[in-house]
């Protein structure tokens, strides 16, 4: 008889041990700040509260009578937190009573079983003055549940950019312009001599316009001659009228070959975009005596080689009746940055 009692009690002990080994409902859960996004409280209602919502997935069923304790750390205000209005708290389909609210937290008590689900807890955090945020920079909202299933975790809330670092930098404006030798973009040149003209050929002279700027919206270039190509006695050379200076005809004009690269591609940062020519670059035009645009870019412009400069070619040809003389003209260029 005594042996059977021992065996019975031993069986009960083993049974208890087996029951004890069943999975417990306890553990950390991932709490996320769902309202506001990222937990960043950047504004508060004029009523003096900021609405916050945390969410997590319960590890098991929360039974009737279980409590959900919300804990703020550090306590951001001496004023009690309040229930959201309208309340968006959602506890796995169950209902819960909001109570025991204080400045440091609140407690919900379940009045029915809550199946394993996403739980949303909404509270309004007080601010010191209506419409302005509390001075504490950051705080956490934690959850500890009791009543069989013990879930716990915490999420961060950040006030007034308390988790932000604002990076700033200033790039000062720059704009440069140089008229250069056609063969060397580092050598200045301010003359363009067409030489002794003849009827058999079109005489030319060239120079380059080296324009650089970090203006966000690029630059514009324009030019203006002091007068037509003429002698000191005001004998005027005939301006080109057919878009092409031709040998054997008295014609004078200018050709502007804008660069095929040098403008900054905003997507890549490379200086791969062309300058914008105001006229087709294949044509010859009279040199204007009123201010006239000829090249522009809508992006910063940078010159590392001659290909990024604007090539200017003056052209002249004469006919048998071209008046003898020394013809001259001063051409002035203007560049403005579009910052």
Partner 1 sequence: MRFLICVIITGVFLLTSSVQAAMTSSHFELRFDSINSGGTDNSTSTNYKLYDTLGEQATGPSTSTNYSLLAGYRQSDDYRPFLSLIVSAQENNTQVPYTALSTSTKTVTVTLATSFATGTFIGVVENLGLHQKTIIGKIESINGLVLTVDKWDGQVDQISTNPQGGDDYVYRMEAFSGVFGRLEANVGKTTLSRTEVGTNSATGYTVYMQSDGYLRGSTTTHIMDVADGEVSMDSEEYGARVYGTLATSTGMDFAVTSTLREIQTSTTTATDDRVAIVYKINIMPYTPASNYLQKVRYLLTANF
Residues 96-125, interacting with partner 1 (CB under 8 A): none
Residue pair 296/218 in contact (Cβ under 8 Å)? The answer is: yes
What is the DSSP secondary-structure string of 48-116? SEEEEEEEEE-SSPBPTT-EEEEEEES---SSPPEE-SS---EETTB-EEEE---SSEEEEEESS-B-S
Nearer to partner 1, 15 or 183 (CB): 15
* Closest approach of partner 1 to the CB of residue 151, in Å: 9
* Interactions with partner 1, residue window 61-80 (CB under 8 A): 71, 73-74
- From residue 158 to residue 197, the character string flagging contacts with partner 1 as x (rule: CB under 8 A) and all else as - is x--xxxxxxxxxxxxxx-----------------------
* Interactions with partner 1, residue window 256-275 (CB under 8 A): 264, 266, 269, 271
Out of 48, 92, 153, 221, name the contact with partner 1 by CB under 8 A.
153
What is the rounded distance in angstroms from the CA atom of residue 228 to the CA atom of residue 316? 13
* Closest approach of partner 1 to the CB of residue 22, in Å: 7
* Interactions with partner 1, residue window 122-151 (CB under 8 A): 137-138, 140, 142-144, 146-148, 150
> What is the number of other CB atoms lying within 10 angstroms of the CB of residue 15?
10
* Interactions with partner 1, residue window 281-300 (CB under 8 A): 300
At residue 275's C-alpha, the angle toward residues 336 and 238, to 5°, is 80
Q: How far is C-alpha 294 from the geometric centre of its chain's CA atoms?
A: 32
* Closest approach of partner 1 to the CB of residue 301, in Å: 7
Per rule CB under 8 A, is residue 1 in the interface with partner 1? no
* Interactions with partner 1, residue window 208-227 (CB under 8 A): 212, 214-216
Tokens representing 114? Answer: 């809550």
> What is the number of other CB atoms lying within 10 angstroms of the CB of residue 64?
15
Give the binding range for partner 1 (CB under 8 A) out of 93-101, 125-133, 154-162, 314-322: 154-162
């Amino acid at each position: 008889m005594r042996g059977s009692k021992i065996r019975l009690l031993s069986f009960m002990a083993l049974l208890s041990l087996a029951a004890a080994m069943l999975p417990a409902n306890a553990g950390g859960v991932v709490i996320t700040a769902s309202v506001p996004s990222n937990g960043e409280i950047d504004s508060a209602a004029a009523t003096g509260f900021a609405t916050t919502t945390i969410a997590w997935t319960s590890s098991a069923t929360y039974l009737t009578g279980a409590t959900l304790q919300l804990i703020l750390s550090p306590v951001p205000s001496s004023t009690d937190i309040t229930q959201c209005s309208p309340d968006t708290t959602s506890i796995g389909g169950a209902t819960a009573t909001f109570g025991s609210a204080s400045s440091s937290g609140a407690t919900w008590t379940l009045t029915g079983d809550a199946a394993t689900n996403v739980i949303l807890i909404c509270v309004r955090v007080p601010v010191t003055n209506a419409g302005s945020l509390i001075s504490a920079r950051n705080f956490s909202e934690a959850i500890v549940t009791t009543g069989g299933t013990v879930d716990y975790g915490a999420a961060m809330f950040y006030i007034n950019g308390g988790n932000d670092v604002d990076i700033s930098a200033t790039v000062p404006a720059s704009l440069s312009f140089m008229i250069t030798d056609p063969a060397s973009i580092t050598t200045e040149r301010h003359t363009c001599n067409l030489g002794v003209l003849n009827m058999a050929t079109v005489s030319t002279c060239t120079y380059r316009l080296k324009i650089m700027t970090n203006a966000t919206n690029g630059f514009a270039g324009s030019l203006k001659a002091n007068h037509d190509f003429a002698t000191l006695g005001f004998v005027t050379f005939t301006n080109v009228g057919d878009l092409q200076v031709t040998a054997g005809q008295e014609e004078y004009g200018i050709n502007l070959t804008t660069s095929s690269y040098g403008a900054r591609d905003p997507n890549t940062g490379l200086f791969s975009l062309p300058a914008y020519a105001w006229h087709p670059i294949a044509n010859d035009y009279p040199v204007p005596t009123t201010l006239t645009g000829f090249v522009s870019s809508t992006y910063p412009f940078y010159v590392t080689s001659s290909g990024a400069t604007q090539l200017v070619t003056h052209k002249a040809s004469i006919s048998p009746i071209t008046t003898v003389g020394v013809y001259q003209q001063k051409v002035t260029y203007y560049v403005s940055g579009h910052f």
